[in-house]
A and B are shown apart, each in its own frame.
Chain A
Amino acid sequence: MAQKLLEVRNLTTGFMTEKGFVKATDRISINIEKGQTLCLVGESGSGKSVTSLSIMRLIDYAGGTILDGKIEFKGDDLAAKKQDQMKNIRGNKIAMIFQDPMSALNPVFTVGEQIAESLRLHQNKSGDEAWKEAIDLLKLVGIPAAEMRAKQYPHEMSGGMCQRVVIAIALACKPELLIADEPTTALDVTIQAQILELLMRLKEELGMAILLITHDMGVAAEVADHIAVMYAGAIVEQGTVEEIFTNPSHPYTIGLLKSIPGFEGGSSEKELYTIKGTIPGLGNLPQGCRFNPRCPHVMDKCRQVEPGDFKIGNEHTTKCWLFEDKPEVTVSGGTGGNTNV
């Protein structure tokens, strides 16, 4: 078994609202090993981004609070760290790429300066050294004429180029974990293919782990080692990429896969499979299983009691009462969900 890099246990994060505390993620547990890629898949509002912001502890600035749980990065609990201590980890050990490359870059600085900044801040390099390394980084992410490009501003570059620059900034300090929040969503398919290929190449070369957040099952299938499917703030199914795609178990995962046009497992009819209804608001989740109002296999039990994680394969768990006969997995850490606010 490879070395554990990040272990998130029972992470519950939420936002204070007028109507009380709303849990955006509810007892999330994920593991990432060294050099592995975990994809967090789900629709908008399912809590993917909140999970990543919580790991970076940026959620504090977004108005959220980590209520419970542990975020162990190489044995250190990030959830208990002070923001001052986090500054040494953010950008240095864990780096992040955001969805929209145009707005992630500062329009009034050249891209070279922006890459060099992170080297100066985190690694105390001198201006000259940092600038030279910035150019090397631009070459690493496949930008032609790097010396010239380093002196340009973000608006002089295309979306795909900007995303490469953002990746270069993230890689500047050779992080051990890269969190990529929808890195290709704003890009065209041909550019998306370039960026995914780049990420996979860099992962191999630098031996870093990636937490990739996406809503696209196709992207997940191509790059992931493990997949965690999120629905309304909880991970409903988790497993290796083969297990999720060849043996999807949770009715939500099955529905999600079937509703992709052109997916082999979907209906060959002209009509697409649909999951009836819409995602519930996080403020008024249904009682019992959070998927029960939309589930085709709903039973009485589903409407009353929330299912635990049942182990149906070697590394494959699902949160569904249909698999009640399988052993239940519990994760220790935090108060284990006994949070009443």
Chain B
Amino acid sequence: MSKNLIEVEHIKKYFPIHKGLLNRVVGNVKAVDDVSISIREGETFGLVGESGCGKSTLGRVILRLQSATGGAVKFNGRDIHSMNSRELNKIREEMQIIFQDPFGSLNPRFLVKDIIGEPLKVHTKQSAQEIDKRVVELMELVGLDATRRNRYPHEFSGGQRQRIGIARAIALNPKFIVADEAVSALDVSVQSQVINLLMKLQKEMGLTFLFIAHGLNVVRHISDRVGVMYLGKMAEVGETEALYASPLHPYTAALLSAIPEPTPNRKKKRIVLQGDVPSPANPPSGCRFHPRCPFAQAKCSQVEPLLEEILPGRQVACHFPLGVEGGSDLASIGR
């Protein structure tokens, strides 16, 4: 087993709520609340969950694009949240991010060659000529026509812009890339092209990915392991195939059963959750999922379950996990 590249230890990110004339803090939005995960070198870790569950915040806190309220993120054994700005600048060469919106994440006033070359300009002391050579290399690597490097982003289509974002992210040969909904805004036929590109780059460059997405099918395809988040907490972590085949957490089961599948007349049981995701400013007591959980028992509303390894390689935060002795029975509900 390869070693852990990223170790997230009890990370917390609270956003204070200010109110009144004196701007007093009246509460916190607990976007990420005590999450611990580890990402192994060379793997793709998929992070799924509904909007507002804190998955993007977690991705940003891991890169220290946002400072954490508590906890530590270790990159190769060194805590990046206690680094000074010089050390941080140095380590940022090795970690990059690809954003969701291929329209908003590229500066419209920059030429494409300047966008892709910018990390090189900031982090290396290469001459303009060397940078240009590298930009051509990168554009060819991601499947863009390098003769178009003197153009502006608006002259490219959505899929091509996302390739520009990918070229920028890999410019410095990073070890770790956070892909925050990198393919969500793309059409299916373009999406498959970009997914193939990401997987090819990973193989060639030995990249480690944190792949954040709400498209569960995409995550299944690309990830080695998957973490499911709900309301700032990690509900379940496991190997992709095992997790998709037999989810342990009722929330994972509900999420998976909600994927519309491109097969008509499917007779799969669907668990339609009632209600909405509660506000992270005022999360429910005990297990955060209990008001929507079809298996909730008295204990669930009082005691908060911890993320524990109950099967080899399978962690779950649930008092009564599915398919385990003494746990909940999926057959008892659904339709």
Contacts and interface: CB of A to CB of B under 8 A. Distances in A.
Contact of B258 (A193, A215, A256): A193
Interface string B220-262: 1110000000000000000000000000000000110111111
Given A188-B50, A191-B276, A193-B270, 17 more contacts: A158-B277, A160-B276, A190-B272, A190-B273, A193-B257, A194-B273, A196-B260, A218-B260, A221-B260, A221-B261, A222-B261, A242-B264, A261-B220, A262-B217, A270-B221, A274-B189, A278-B159
A215 B50 contact: no
B276 A218 contact: no
Contacts of A245: 262-264
B262 A189 contact: no
A106 B273 CA distance: 28
Which 7 A-B pairs rank lowest in CB-CB distance, beginning with the nearest?
A218-B260, A261-B221, A259-B192, A43-B187, A193-B258, A188-B50, A272-B192
Contacts of A218: 259-262
Given A197-B272, A261-B218, A274-B189, A190 B255 contact: yes
Contacts, number: 111
Contacts of B331: none
A17 to B, nearest CB: 17
Contacts of B220: 261-262
Query: Which interface class (under 10, 10 to 19, 20 to 34, 35 or more) fits A?
Result: 35 or more
Interface in A155-193: 158, 160-161, 188-193
Interface string A272-283: 111100110000
A325 interface: no
Query: Which interface class (under 10, 10 to 19, 20 to 34, 35 or more) fits B?
Result: 35 or more
Contacts of B141: none
B276 A161 contact: yes
Contact of B266 (A222, A224, A255, A279): A222
25 contacts: A43-B189, A161-B276, A190-B254, A190-B258, A192-B258, A193-B273, A194-B272, A197-B272, A218-B261, A220-B262, A221-B263, A221-B264, A221-B266, A222-B260, A242-B264, A256-B188, A257-B262, A261-B218, A261-B221, A261-B222, A262-B221, A271-B196, A274-B189, A278-B159, A278-B190
